[in-house]
Structure 1
Amino acid sequence: MNVGHPEIDADHRYLIHLINTVELVLRFPENPEHMKLAFDELEHYAAEHFAREEKIQISWGYSHYDEHQQEHRRLLESLSLLRRMMEKAMAETSPPADALREHSGYVTDFLRKWLVDHVMKTDLKMIDLFKGRKVF
């Protein structure tokens, strides 16, 4: 899943870590506040990563920047929708941990697909941008 740029590749590894954290919270849902904290960090870091990646794309003259930026916006919107869905389910379920258990498979599948699809189908197109060039 490496694109050949150290910052972008490190970001991708950390995003995987954050998704794993959400999955861990779903396995042990007794404290729903942990889900809020995990989603806070995932949403915050995803937005930072996308901004950093776009800045790198601009500085390297990436020809697919506009489409990539639009995909980032859609990804952030879908992450926000997922979070709202989980918050609503927890608010409507007693105890809220039951909602986390009920939706854990969906959330896990969604987040894995969300990141892997983006990296594998979109980000890996940047490999040629960095290949054979001094990145730092």
Structure 2
Amino acid sequence: MEFVEWKESYNVGVKEIDIQHRGLFDLVNKLTKTNDYDPEGRYFLLTFIEFIDYARLHFNTEERYMQEASYSRFEEHKQAHIDFLAIMKSYLEKLEKKQRNMENEILDYIKKWYSSHILGFDRDYIEVFRAKGFK
């Protein structure tokens, strides 16, 4: 499976969020690499748990900035995060029950969601955050 490539154009202009976005991309690549070289899926599972934990941390950070900025689409954005984590939890439960051959499906979902979320939904708050002076 192909790695995802970080591009500077993905930055939103808030250092903490940009670092976390980059960290998420790095974890997706770690998942991809683990999937390619871990036929039994043990390391994939551990890395997937790490990814979910980091995504949760990132979502909390992003939501804190949104609340501080009185971002008008906060509830909608927060719900997207909740929905994503629910899907990740469902995948995790299946992996923990040793359901195999889910790794590619998980990676496809994550890659599509993150590219649309970071390149779409997250772009919406950039101007609001700039107006608040967040850097």
Q: TM-score scaled by structure 1?
A: 0.82
Deviation of residue 2 (structure 1)? 1.6
2:39 aligned with 1:8: no
- Please identify which structure carries the higher helix content: 1
- 1:78 partner amino acid: I
Gaps of 5+ in 1: 92-98
Aligned to 1:94: none
Deviation of residue 63 (structure 1)? 1.1
Q: TM-score scaled by structure 2?
A: 0.83
- 2:95 partner amino acid: M
2:61 aligned with 1:52: yes
User: Percent sequence identity over matched residues?
Assistant: 29
In the alignment, which of 92, 106, 110 is matched to residue 83 of structure 1? 92
C-alpha separation in 2, matches of 1:131 and 1:14: 22
Aligned residues: 126
Q: Spell out the pairing of 1:1-136 with structure 2 (5 A cutoff).
A: 1-88=10-97, 90=98, 99=100, 102-131=101-130, 134-136=133-135
Structure with greater contact order relative to length (CA < 8 Å, sep ≥ 6): 1
Between structure 1 and structure 2, the one with the greater Rg is: 1
Moved runs in structure 1, 4+ residues, more than 6 A?
Answer: none
Deviation of residue 47 (structure 1)? 0.6
Partners of 1:2 and 1:124 within 8 A in 2: no
